[in-house]
Structure 1
Amino acid sequence: MINKDYIKVNCNLCEIPFKTHLSFRYLIKDITAISEQDTHPMYPMATSLLSKLKKAPELMDEVVEQKTLDKYPELLKQLMSFAFNPLLDDVELSAAWKPFDMEQEIYSTNAFKKIMGGPNRRFELAKELDENQMLITVLYQAYVIILEKYYKLDIPIDLPFTLKMTDTDTGLVKFFNKRFNSRFLEIRTIGEVKDLSAKQIKMLFDNDNDLVLWNKIIPLEKFEFNGFLQFAYHDVTRDHAISDLKSDLLKKESILSKDGYLKIKDKIRTLIENPHAEFGMAANYGFETNLNQNFIWNTIIPREELDCHDYQGTMYEKAFKGKQIVLTTDMAKLEKDDVVAAFLKRGIRSHAIVPLILDDEIMGMLEFGCKKPGGITMIQLKLLHDLFPVFALAMKRSKEDWDDMVRSVIQEEFTAIHPTVEWRFREAAAQLINDDDAPDNKKPDDIIFPDVVPIYGASDIRGSSVERNVAIRDDLRKQLREASQILEGHEVLADVPLLKDLRYTIEKHLKTVGRGLKAGDEVLIIDFLKKEIEPVFNLVKGRYPGMIEAIEAYEKLLDPELGVIYNKRKNFEDSLTMINDEVSDIIDKEQLKAQTVFPHYFEKYRTDGIEYNGYIGQSLVKELEYSSIYLKNIRLWQLLVMVSVARKVRSLQADLPTKLDITQLILVHSKPLSIAFRQDEKKFDVAGAYNIRYEITKKRIDKALVKGTRERVTQVGKIAIVYSHADEIAEYKHYLDFMKAQGYISGQVEDLELEDLKGASGLKALRIEVDFNGSDAIKHDKQVYEEVITKE
């Protein structure tokens, strides 16, 4: 039987259709057998108990009433000592019940009474099954017992049900797995019960969520249960909460929606066993930026109460910059600031901040608070330690999803559909239009293309972040120095106090630029130049005619639209744009030709370079027959296009205002996967959690290092072909022989092992050097490829 947590169960029963009776006959039968074995360790107890039971014959009746249990409580305990181990009375969470009647408990251990007993304990199934979930639970238990005890079938399952227990006094939530033992239960039949055929057994297990069918084949009203059921309970609070949290964090809405955040908050409280703990989370784009204006900001202190600048210099900045957990045992002992005051106003005394780090980059932060001093401890945080990487990945994915959503707002309501798969969208639209009975708000069916092979490549600008930062620093340094020379170079301004302060601020900013810019420094300095230097220069020009020439010379250096010196940055941006335009143009033109060989899905996007995703397979096309030869063709095409791109970028070097170059890589993934159209973001994505390794690898391989070195696998003038399995790369080696013979590449093919990445291990790579002296011509007709792709 499969997991009932997520299956809709077909059931037309409203109550238990069979009779049940409490009886100890099966247990007494076992005790009698022990009394006949004088070597048995419990022989004396068994003989003594049977002697006492003769004086209480009601306990040996076929049906035992509650009043009988009340009359002989001590004998009942002695009876149960043969079913429950007395030595584990304070350890095991166990109880005995009248068959399928959870209202009539007949015995329970002290551990059960202490942890699960009492009127303040509320029980429910952890996950909803159906409207009559408790009834359905009983029916499944009954069928398992019937199959095992009456039909003598070996059922290869354990049927646990997870119970959620809420302490209504404290709000504390715990979860328990509940397993039953039917050893002391007897089954009787009423009327004729037919044997089961092999065909019927198969039909039952093929339709295990259809209890209407089950009851037709095995009518429950023909069975009667006598005896009692034992139940054992195991605390699975931590495992259940962690599993649920991980599942929640895989969903986009868990981070982006208020409801998702509240669910996470409840599970965090369960994990740290503090039903009143406060919890917050936020995404970060850099601490010095306007961090609390980002899209993920569910913090303990609402964003309306604290400005982002209030967090600077506090424990938050310490956690962010130090990339470390910051624990505060008692807020009242800290030096007062706006943040501390806001927490104390809410009664929060203990607090912890946890930075979420992924690839040495902070994705966001979690925070925990409690009104009790010392209520948040490092031990509690260690209980959550395994979840922090999952939170970090979820935060990163949510940030990426949010960025995609922002871009989609700029576009039309429906983005352009790639021509290769347009036919499938037309079918879905036609079906929706032709369905006259469909409600107005009905959504189209999911659009999924199974068994397609992914194609991924990237041409990335090497060191673009460093070059951009250098350009920004050079422009800011020049403008600050020019402004400083004006303020210092004229005696008439030397003794003006305000201008002395401006010169001092300029020197501070020059030191900042010299040390290296942090997030927010550029905005701060430009704001100073525009809002403080510019008004003063305008005032000085009107007051001191002798200053006009110098200030106008300064103003001529400024970009007329941006109002700042924009020389180095413009050179960088122009160079970046020139390279990306040329690379994009080559890929676009060659893609048009490649589509004529065999249609495939292809999407290209700009970062600091050009990346693309492609998919090829039978499900993407409707009227053409797919063959693996087309996959080989697109892989060879991919290599030749990269050679063409490398040569083009090399030819641009003399014309680039800022010298930039590219690195290129291909990710090989031979195992077919499925892609699904995400209706909410109007884009395709890989479907299924099992494909997450491919997505993680894609995002991280550009930073991969050659094993045992600090050398990046991607290098200027070379193409890296990254793969996981040796059988994936055999055909590539054949292509490389062809390319070398044709003058596309030169030198030896490097066969490399790569350092493990987080979420992706065992990667290898072939690295080839582009021959920059050959022709750039790329042809796509069958004649060019036939010899290469058919002679492997």
Structure 2
Amino acid sequence: MIDKDYIKVNCSLCNIPFKTKLSFQLLIKEIEKMSVEHSHVMSYMAVELLKKLDHAPELKADSVSQAMLDKYPELVKQLMSFAFNPLQDDLELSAAWKPFEPDGEFYSTSAFKRVLGEGNRIMGLAKEDEMELDENLLLVTILYQAYFIILERYYKVDIPVDLPFTLKMTNTDTGIVKFFNKRFNSRFLEIRTTGKVKELSAEDLKVLLDNDHDLDLWNKLIPLDEFEFRGFIQFQYHDVTRDHTISKLKSDLLKKETVLSKEGYLRIKDKIRTLIENPEAEFGMAANYGFETNLNQQFIWNTIIPREELDCFSYQGTMYEKAFNKKQIVLTSDIAQLERNVVVEKLLKYGIRSHAIVPLLHEGEIMGMLEFGCKKPGSITMIQLKLLHDLFPIFALAMKRSKEDWNDMVRSVIQEEYTAIHPTVEWRFREAAAQLINNDESIDNVKNEDIVFPDVVPIYGASDIRGSSLERNEAIREDLETQLKAAKQILENDKEVADVPLMNDLRYTISRHLKTVGSGLKAGDEVVIIDFLKKEVKPVLDLFKSRYPEMGSLIAGYEALLDPELGVIYDKRKDFEDSLTLINDKVSDIIDKEQLSAQKVYPHYFEKYRTDGIEYNAYIGQSLVKDMEYSDIYLKNMRLWQLLVMVKVAREVRSLQSSLPTKLDITQLILVHSNPLSIAFRQDEKKFDVAGAYNIRYEITKKRIDKALVKGSNERITQVGKIAIVYSHADEIAEYRHFLDFMKAQGYITRKVEDLELEDLKGASGLRALRIEVDFKGTNTGLLDAKAYEEVITK
């Protein structure tokens, strides 16, 4: 119920406002029913227990005190045997609690006591990366649980009572960390009221559910101080250590600062220790460009041996270089058994005996390496490493991304200050520099001055490759399938080698990989299959070529299919990448050329960037230009220019279709935002960003509209051959309708114009769109000159 995307739960309550009492009355009623149902398997036990309870009337009371629990411990256990399965006592992590009391546990299974009991264990909330809730997370959780039960019992609204957090358990003896989720059972909990329960309309309930983060509103509609809870609550705990840790680790690796920072490295290290259940394990990671470079100067270097203790040349000829060159895991059960060298001596100095090195490969290239170490010989095993196998491709991608980010940072440092500043706003940075010089301050202090341009209107456009991810995956799948089939054919062709046991194993593995490829590749499959083809199939074929000359031509035919640099078939992937590049180059060239003309009409800020397509941001307004007066006429000009450029792009890409190795096409959209906003220069990234919390909605909308659906359908708003003009308010689109009439008359677009309502997006609702269809048969192919623009936009 509590969504992690909410920024904060609104709750002014400081204490639980309702009364609670421990009671066994509902459970005893169930036992009484069993006692009279002679066919019930527990009827006899129920009768006997009720007789004992007659001698302990305090346990049958409305409220049971702790003193009564202490007085009748055996009777309480017998009572609980009807709520908890005794056969699961040593298996289930279950407990009974006094209603909504954080420390109210009064019964638990043997498994619970063993795993989660007090003594050498510390329990707490797993708060890392959780949303920012109210300061008292436990109180907020209790209030939600109470409300969910009330909604179910009194208003027939069934909401799963899930806890919005995970419990973290640390064994202080072993240091092992575990994570657990709870399941909540309120079967033996009774609700009483101090007055008449307020009736809620369907609209009231909708308001509640639409504002699930506002507990003050909930308490206004359903005052909790009018309720009393009697009975007890059952909790069942489930070990989610692996799933929780892997999920958090993946989230960490998606953030570039995790890989690049010491704090991020330490978080990864803790999670690795949790996954392999070895709190003493050491962990290292490093990115590199090859062993011939100065490894100690790389941007990621968090290894077991600190970088200041060894230079790069010390690693040559060691197991690190072996793992790097052979692109395979190197596991050492006992470092002390290795021949001594400076690396071995250093590892022993740090007490490392068991050690493993894992190269991280992405498309056959090593992005970096991970290392694992432990003080006990044999403590690091292949089984443990296989538990982490699915994470290795993610580590490789994180290294690759961080390497690219680092290269961008290096380039920005090499460049002089502000060399990448757009010419339109260069004057503002000159002013800042002049002011700095006049004040005789350090040049570095220029970064402290805020450079903001207020009241500018944004213009955003995107030309995206339709289905690029699917096409890329299909290309990879076809190439792998072709290579696997070609290899299999060779192994089955020659009778002399067909029955060799190793060949049977290889054919079986190939068949298994073909099945994987046929059913759809998952994360990491591509790396595994390519690794298999290079390290297992290739050596066998090389052996056959030298031992069985008659197979030479067949193997040569197979090798001719492979890319000479990559060592794998790269036909479909190359076709895809070539097609993608051709389209993006064409779109980029058109935008660059036409943008130069648009700047002559009125200077504006413009930036373009590539994803799987081409996107651009532009901003226009008086604050950007110093010596030229701004008019709304220039904004209209930019908007018409944008429409005409998109028509030109669509037509040029359509003309490319016959020359594309892989058939790809584009979708295009425009986001209209008429309210002026401010943009500020970010010194850290040397780029402009929208400034102010209110304007963040524009940025959120930009990132999500390409996935927007037409309301009431599964149809994307973006379609091939069409241009989607997305807007929020009717007055924003009025001038566009005028432009569209002109474009229809001139043969730029067809007369088919769709006015559509969009499904709400997260963070952006109430959007609409005009969707126009490009006229690919139109004879008007050029853009307008300045005079023609003026005639259109001033009518």
Per the shorter chain, which TM-score range?
0.5 to 0.7
Structure 1 counterpart SS, 2:308: coil
Spell out the pairing of 1:280-679 with structure 2 (5 A cutoff). Answer: 280-411=284-415, 413-414=417-418, 416=420, 452-454=461-463, 589=593, 591-593=595-597, 602-603=607-608, 614-615=614-615, 623-624=635-636, 625=639, 630-637=645-652, 668-670=665-667, 679=682
1:107 matched residue in structure 2: 107
Q: Contact (CA 8 Å) 1:261, 1:298: kept in 2 or not?
A: yes
Q: Contact (CA 8 Å) 1:160, 1:177: kept in 2 or not?
A: no
Q: Distance in 1 between matches of 2:453 and 2:221?
A: 35
Q: Contact (CA 8 Å) 1:165, 1:175: kept in 2 or not?
A: yes
Deviation at residue 36 of structure 1 after TM alignment: 2.0
2:45 matched residue in structure 1: 45
Q: Distance in 2 between matches of 1:266 and 1:690?
A: 36
Q: Contact (CA 8 Å) 1:280, 1:366: kept in 2 or not?
A: yes
The 3 A distance-change label for structure 1 pair 779 and 612 is farther
The 3 A distance-change label for structure 1 pair 360 and 83 is same
Residue identity in the other structure for 1:186? E
1:787 matched residue in structure 2: none
Deviation at residue 59 of structure 1 after TM alignment: 1.0
1:743 matched residue in structure 2: none
Q: Distance in 2 between matches of 1:173 and 1:348?
A: 22
Residue 119 of structure 2 is aligned to residue 142 of structure 1: no
Q: Distance in 1 between matches of 2:330 and 2:657?
A: 47
1:62 matched residue in structure 2: 62
- Residues 701-743 of structure 1 deviation map (CA, whole Å, 9 limit, x = unaligned): xxxxxxxxxxxxxxxxxxxxxxxx9x966689xxxxxxxxxxx
Q: Contact (CA 8 Å) 1:249, 1:391: kept in 2 or not?
A: yes
1:30 matched residue in structure 2: 30
Residue identity in the other structure for 2:648? N
Q: Contact (CA 8 Å) 1:601, 1:614: kept in 2 or not?
A: no
Of all paired residues, the percent bearing the same amino acid is: 63
- Residues 594-637 of structure 1 deviation map (CA, whole Å, 9 limit, x = unaligned): 778999955479xxxxx997325899999334676542312445
Stretch deviating more after TM superposition (629-638 or 36-45): 629-638
Residue 232 of structure 2 is aligned to residue 228 of structure 1: yes
Spell out the pairing of 1:679-698 with structure 2 (5 A cutoff). Answer: 679=682, 680-683=684-687
Q: Contact (CA 8 Å) 1:404, 1:681: kept in 2 or not?
A: no
Q: Contact (CA 8 Å) 2:654, 2:665: kept in 1 or not?
A: no
Residue identity in the other structure for 1:100? F
Structure 1 counterpart SS, 2:378: coil
1:465 matched residue in structure 2: none
Residue identity in the other structure for 2:649? I
2:214 is aligned, of 210, 215, 233, to 210
Q: Contact (CA 8 Å) 1:454, 1:614: kept in 2 or not?
A: yes
The 3 A distance-change label for structure 1 pair 283 and 409 is same
Structure 2 counterpart SS, 1:16: coil
The 3 A distance-change label for structure 1 pair 76 and 20 is same
The 3 A distance-change label for structure 1 pair 586 and 210 is closer
Residue identity in the other structure for 1:333? Q
Q: Contact (CA 8 Å) 1:448, 1:677: kept in 2 or not?
A: no
Residue identity in the other structure for 1:64? V
Residue identity in the other structure for 1:634? V
Residue identity in the other structure for 2:137? Q
Q: Distance in 2 between matches of 1:376 and 1:323?
A: 19
The 3 A distance-change label for structure 1 pair 2 and 61 is same
Deviation at residue 130 of structure 1 after TM alignment: 3.2
Q: Contact (CA 8 Å) 2:667, 2:722: kept in 1 or not?
A: no
- Residues 564-602 of structure 1 deviation map (CA, whole Å, 9 limit, x = unaligned): xxxxxxxxxxxxxxxxxxx99998556524778999955
- Residues 644-672 of structure 1 deviation map (CA, whole Å, 9 limit, x = unaligned): xx9xxxxxxxxxxxxxxxx9999755275
Q: Contact (CA 8 Å) 2:354, 2:380: kept in 1 or not?
A: yes
Structure 1 counterpart SS, 2:323: helix
Q: Distance in 2 between matches of 1:136 and 1:314?
A: 55
Q: Distance in 2 between matches of 1:105 and 1:15?
A: 20
Deviation at residue 80 of structure 1 after TM alignment: 0.8
Deviation at residue 118 of structure 1 after TM alignment: 2.3
- Residues 91-129 of structure 1 deviation map (CA, whole Å, 9 limit, x = unaligned): 111100000112121111111111101222211111253
The 3 A distance-change label for structure 1 pair 104 and 156 is closer
The 3 A distance-change label for structure 1 pair 36 and 584 is closer
Residue identity in the other structure for 2:90? D
The 3 A distance-change label for structure 1 pair 364 and 279 is same
Q: Distance in 1 between matches of 2:590 and 2:645?
A: 21
Structure 1 counterpart SS, 2:257: helix
Residue 276 of structure 2 is aligned to residue 261 of structure 1: no
Deviation at residue 452 of structure 1 after TM alignment: 3.8
Q: Distance in 2 between matches of 1:88 and 1:678?
A: 62
Q: Distance in 1 between matches of 2:41 and 2:111?
A: 26
Deviation at residue 200 of structure 1 after TM alignment: 2.3
Q: Distance in 2 between matches of 1:445 and 1:22?
A: 63
- Residues 356-414 of structure 1 deviation map (CA, whole Å, 9 limit, x = unaligned): 11111111111111111111111111111111111111111111111111122234555
Residue identity in the other structure for 1:345? K
Stretch deviating more after TM superposition (631-640 or 375-384): 631-640
TM-score (norm 1): 0.61
Q: Distance in 2 between matches of 1:106 and 1:441?
A: 62
Root mean square deviation of aligned Cα: 4.5
Structure 2 counterpart SS, 1:161: coil
Q: Contact (CA 8 Å) 1:177, 1:233: kept in 2 or not?
A: yes
The 3 A distance-change label for structure 1 pair 184 and 456 is closer
Deviation at residue 277 of structure 1 after TM alignment: 1.0
The 3 A distance-change label for structure 1 pair 594 and 322 is farther
Deviation at residue 233 of structure 1 after TM alignment: 0.6
Structure 2 counterpart SS, 1:40: coil
Q: Contact (CA 8 Å) 1:453, 1:617: kept in 2 or not?
A: no
Q: Contact (CA 8 Å) 1:179, 1:232: kept in 2 or not?
A: yes
Structure 2 counterpart SS, 1:670: strand
Structure 2, unaligned runs of 5 or more: 430-447, 467-586, 622-631, 673-678, 690-697, 707-715, 724-780, 787-795
Q: Contact (CA 8 Å) 1:616, 1:631: kept in 2 or not?
A: no
Equivalent residue pairs, number: 547
The 3 A distance-change label for structure 1 pair 46 and 218 is same
Deviation at residue 149 of structure 1 after TM alignment: 1.9
Residue identity in the other structure for 1:227? G
Structure 2 counterpart SS, 1:107: strand
2:171 is aligned, of 151, 167, 170, to 167
Q: Distance in 1 between matches of 2:226 and 2:464?
A: 60
Q: Distance in 2 between matches of 1:584 and 1:153?
A: 54
Deviation at residue 56 of structure 1 after TM alignment: 1.4
Stretch deviating more after TM superposition (9-18 or 150-159): 150-159
